Amino acid sequence: MATMKAVKKPGPGRGIEVTTVAIPQPGPDEVLIKVKIVGICGTDLHIYKWDLWAESRLKPPLVIGHEFIGTVYAVGENVRHLQIGQRVSAEGHITCGHCRYCRNGQGHICKDVEILGVDRDGCFAEFVCVPASNVWPVHPDIPDFYGALFDPLGNAMHTVMAQPVNMKNVLITGAGSIGLFAIPIAKVNGAKKVIVVEPSPFKREVALKVGADYVLDFYDADVKEKIMEYTDGLGPDVFLEMSGNSQSLRLGLELVSNGGEVSLLGIPPREVELDLAKQVIFKGVTMRGITGRRMFETWYQCESFLLQNGKLIDPIITHVLDFEDVEKGFLEMEANRAIKVLLKVSK
């Protein structure tokens, strides 16, 4: 039996394990991909720390990870549109393909979705097996380091593009990698001002590097007054919540302008109590839940962004490590010394 190196969540509890597992074999409609570079996602960090979300969601053991780029190594007998050696990434949400949502272009909210590295073995390995319909050929002019980031960049793209941002004042709470990706996306798409609220000094510094107009510490006593000042006393037109922090959510809903638009990507660890009448209904606010990426509209948007503006995201890629140093990557992220960590799996 042929084997490969992989990063596995062996069971409940903190940590991961670098181990050896069998190389998966592609079915008739699947593709086996030799993985070149992977990215550590916030979801992977939740799994590493084994927090409340991971405990309620994951059923280990399994190989983790869902951000990657690689090359096609083998294809199933029914696969005709992909070639051996082709450089690819893949959509990490594997849908049923036949339900109402999948059939009307909303596969990202399929009720029977499986997530790579969460519900089935992921890409933190020398090889990963995915349905051929999920494979995304990477444009030859997009470098590997960018091509590995279609998944998280797509989360940011979906959140920003869910409403018009051109000539709008945009508030972003949470400057993790996805919140940071959202900054240049919003600016490229014509945002008037982008205001970022983030408690980490390191992440606030990176937010400025990638184009934020104003960056504030959540714990500043005058954070509300400053946001209102920057928006001419009206509040932000668009509020993008990327942190999952209930206090950040309440802050944004309190300040968003009448008739404003809100997109929520951050996942709170527990239920959140809101004053819906005061903060949403009587203000005429439109609020959207954002999950994953629109398949595959968001991927085309990300391709265009990376081809024209890829270098804007360079400051967000703070660490490039060898695959064997995966634990270091998690620890650096946990300590807020790293934002996007990439791991080199193979040449």
Residue-wise DSSP of 265-285: -S--SS-----HIIIIITTT-
Question: Residue 258 and residue 175: Cα distance in Å, rounded?
Answer: 25
- Quote the radius of gyration of the chain (alpha carbons, Å): 20
2, with CB counted inside 10 A (0-12, 13-18, 19+), is exposed
Bridge-based pairing state of the strands 169-173 and 238-241: parallel
Q: Respond yes or no: is residue 158 known to be catalytic.
A: no
3-state secondary structure of 309: helix
Question: Residue 156 and residue 158: Cα distance in Å, rounded?
Answer: 5
3-state secondary structure of 304: helix
Exactly one of 3, 19, 20, 46 is catalytic; which is it? 46
Question: Residue 153 and residue 229: Cα distance in Å, rounded?
Answer: 30
Question: Residue 195 and residue 229: Cα distance in Å, rounded?
Answer: 11
Q: Respond yes or no: is residue 71 known to be catalytic.
A: no
- 319 DSSP β-pair partners: 341
- 39 DSSP β-pair partners: 67, 342
Residue pointed to by tokens 């991961």: 16
Ordered strands of the 169-173 beta sheet: 214-216, 193-197, 169-173, 238-241, 261-264, 286-289
Exactly one of 19, 43, 159, 319 is catalytic; which is it? 43
Question: Residue 85 and residue 233: Cα distance in Å, rounded?
Answer: 56
Question: Residue 330 and residue 9: Cα distance in Å, rounded?
Answer: 13
Question: Residue 169 and residue 265: Cα distance in Å, rounded?
Answer: 18
Question: Residue 95 and residue 134: Cα distance in Å, rounded?
Answer: 9
Could you list the active site residues? 43, 46
